[in-house]
Amino acid sequence: IITWGGWFTEGHIEIAGDESVAHVMTGEKIFLIAERGAASKFLVKQTNCANEFMNLVLRGPPEVYKSKIFYYKSDSKSVVVQPALCAHSVLTLSEGAAIITG
């Protein structure tokens, strides 16, 4: 996936049964990833737009989900692997190109 400038992916759950693997080769992204079940449903409902995403990042999740929602800031040397049936939402911070493979 190649994007230019800021980009937002609303919360969604991969339902195909496979894990999601991503390597951000260029650019910077913040991922919010939730555990399966109630935390994933919460993340999907709370990240319909970039403003909601940033509000959740800034205030943090409710106490009940604090240990079930994780933050990941991309690094060109790292790969993020998300288990199947877990929700995620992504905000691209880069001004220029962002390239993600997975």
Evaluate whether 3 touches 74 at the Cβ level (below 8 Å). no
Q: Return the pLDDT at 101.
A: 67
Going by C-alpha positions, the residue among 88, 92, 101 that lies closest to residue 21 is: 101
Distance CA(51)–CA(25), nearest Å, equals: 25
Contact criterion met (CB below 8 Å) for 102 and 25? no
* pLDDT tens sequence across 1-24: 777 777 888 999 877 767 888 888
Q: What is the mean pLDDT of residues 40-62?
A: 95
pLDDT at 78: 84
Residue corresponding to tokens 């199947």: 84
